[in-house]
Structure 1
């Protein structure tokens, strides 16, 4: 076995290379049209994304954080309200609530790294307005249990689908279960813009109408402003690129699944690997293992040219910015334990079988040396 091989964590250039002519043409068409804000490319992307998710509406916005914040505002969530979510996520899940005056109330995750439904009801108060499950790593949360709790307590479900575009739970696409689903189109996501982008899906006509105004200063039309709101539009250049890339999403997700299943088969006897019930279609934005001597393993792989990541080394509730939320060390034991032993392996679609085998061989070598 070779002692070193370059295995990056992501390789966006490899993804774009086969599409470069189409992407260039799409960008050129927008530039020549002069329609940079709104226009047919944005409308076409929204129509296609709504169809992907099985929803009536999709509203393009500037990023995933804006998707969450604007959705909460559209549902009347704000000062003094609470939303129940997880700390084991990218910090924007929580910050999007804080930025509109709401308080994120954290509950711990289960062994699937997603919100533990059994812990939610104990966290509900008279101030609770919504549950925000995160489909972390592209694995759907347990939506049947979450939907039952939300209905029992008259709460909104706002799905954080940032890592889960195309994922399915019992044959239904994530984002379509709750009042709304919020997606990030950041360059590292399974469906990515060449820059920032986001999109919200919903079946709620009134919410969709609000979001279309809220993303554009609260403007009813070119001349009338109904309420104060920021500029959070998805621009036409990014929409044009996304329209090209959307055709490849299923193939990219299937390729990630091939890599993930190969990792599971080869590594399940030496590290904890993710599992996938037969009623789910996970899309493996990240392939996360739990490993003893995690930091030493990470260093060992780095020495051999294998790039890995930790998602996430500092849980949101332990970030300095979160000190006033009231969740100290020890409050979320599994979340805090995961931060010490999880490791994300390369799982991007263009990863070669040779590279994947090199990763597997080196992990096995580390534990048998």
Structure 2
């Protein structure tokens, strides 16, 4: 059996250090917002050549706090891709804002810059880009649009740790870069965790308040805040894995290269472009018989996933929050996308086997 992901195998190289850090944690007896969180924030900011990083409880909170930091008014509109995971849209709704869906570009699966201007209205205040599957959005034209219309840019980087566009890292283009460290991410914790990168001292201090009940000084609350603190133990674990992020990404890129080499042309593979350094958090293909293909692979003991089977506009929870237009590009992706095994836990031999079995389906 080739699993889609095995967290046990993935974390095995770090196991002894993780156990040692747990022992240190117990000896210290300091569990919330201690030295480990502060150190990880500095190290994660440094990795991105940025000054400010604030650890939070999870990726959804990272998006919510970034939006809250902007001080938008209820009903203001935020542009967001029509094929994103629901968390991106939930963040907008939780902040009392209105999500406006824009179709992706099939070359990148990310929001289409050419489609953004038509979605801008007098109520538009921000663009929330999502670097989906490990590939950056086409940020040059997006940043130009944001500048022309004086819009904030919030980057959802949950799937793009270490991804680059024209040599620049995801999370460093806009006003805020929001990260999830869910265990399956390229940089994954052993539980929920998140962080926000920001550009200014003012936003940095505001984020620190917002994550901790609105408090800058203990028992003194200056704003209406949240309880969204990066766990001290998860920060310690992330510090162990962060120095290996580039190694993890390089391994996933090697596995992706095998798919590119071996898979035949009956599958729509991710597009290769020298402007993008894709870290393949997800290696997805498109196929018109996706469901049959998934069953075929399962019969050959190969597990796959679908990211995502239900489009945002088709989610029951969002039926009262979205404008229900047709989104044919998004619909095509949701109906035909399949995510293949491609993790730090997989070997090159396993991926060659998966590719060979895939080719049998189309032969």
Query: TM-score scaled to structure 1, two decimals?
Result: 0.96
SS in 1 for 2:105: coil
In 2, the alpha carbon distance for the partners of 1:204 and 1:135 equals: 22
Which residue of structure 1 aligns with residue 301 of structure 2?
305
1:350 Cα deviation from its structure 2 partner: 2.4
Partner of 2:123: 127
* Alpha-carbon separation, structure 1, partners of 2:271 and 2:156: 21
In structure 2, how many angstroms separate the alpha carbons of the residues matched to 1:16 and 1:200?
24
Q: How far is 1:135 from its partner? A: 0.3
Whether the 8 Å CA contact 1:42–1:234 is kept in 2: the answer is yes
Q: Any conservation in 1 of the 2:258–2:348 contact (CA below 8 Å)? A: no
2:196 corresponds to which residue?
200
Match of 1:63 among 54, 58, 62: 58
Single out whichever of 78-87 and 112-121 deviates more from structure 2.
78-87
CA distance in 2 between counterparts of 1:285 and 1:268 reads: 22
In the alignment, structure 1 residue 278 sits paired with structure 2 residue 274:
yes
Rounded to whole Å, the distance in 1 between the matches of 2:119 and 2:296 is 41
Work out the CA distance in 2 between the residues paired with 1:336 and 1:41. 43
Tell me the alpha carbon deviations over residues 266-315 of structure 1, each in whole angstroms, 9 at most, x when there is no partner: 11422110023112211100000011211111000001110001100101
Check the 8 A contact 1:63/1:184 in 2, yes or no: yes
What is the CA deviation profile of residues 138-195 of structure 1, one whole-angstrom value per residue up to 9, with x for unaligned ones?
Answer: 1000000100000000001100000001111111111000001000000111101110
Indicate whether 1:31 and 2:55 are aligned. Answer: no
1:49 aligns with 2:44: yes
* Whole-Å separation in 2 of the counterparts to 1:283 and 1:77: 33
Aligned partner of 2:160 among 164, 167, 170:
164
Unaligned runs of 5+ in 1: 1-5
* Count of matched residue pairs: 362
CA distance in 1, matches of 2:281, 2:309: 17
Once the two structures are TM-superposed, the CA of residue 230 in structure 1 deviates from its matched residue by: 1.4
Q: Cα deviations across residues 227-270 of structure 1 (Å, max 9, x unaligned)? A: 12110000100000000011111111000001111101211422
Judge which range, 260-269 or 144-153, deviates more: 260-269
Q: Match of 1:261?
A: 257
Partner of 2:2: 7
Deviations 1:304-328 (A, max 9, x none): 1100011001011210111112433
Is the CA contact (8 Å cut-off) linking 1:190 and 1:249 kept in structure 2?
A: yes
Partner of 1:173: 169
- SS at the partner of 1:105? strand
**Which residue of the partner structure matches residue 230 of structure 2?**
234
Q: Aligned equivalents of 2:307 and 2:157: distance in 1?
A: 16
Equivalences for 1:137-152 in 2 at 5 Å?
Answer: 137-152=133-148
> Bigger shift: 294-303 or 259-268?
259-268
Q: Give the secondary structure class of the aligned counterpart of 2:111.
A: coil
Q: TM-score, normalised by structure 2?
A: 0.98
Deviation at 1:102, TM superposition (A): 0.5
Instruction: Work out the CA distance in 1 between the residues paired with 2:241 and 2:130.
Output: 24
Whole-Å Cα distance in 2 between the matches of residues 293 and 91 of structure 1?
Answer: 25
Contact 1:72 1:78 in 2 (8 A): no
Shift of 1:134: 0.4
What's the Cα RMSD here?
1.0
Which of 36, 56, 71 matches 1:76? 71
For 1:344 and 1:326, the matched residues in 2 are separated by 27
Structure 2: gaps of 5 or more residues: none
Structure 2 residue 310 is the aligned partner of structure 1 residue 332 = no
Residue 347 of structure 2 corresponds to which residue in structure 1?
A: 352
Runs of 4+ in 1 over 4 A off after TM superposition: none
| Alpha-carbon contact 1:54-1:173 (below 8 Å) kept | no
**Aligned residues of 2:283 and 2:341 also touching (Cα < 8 A):** yes
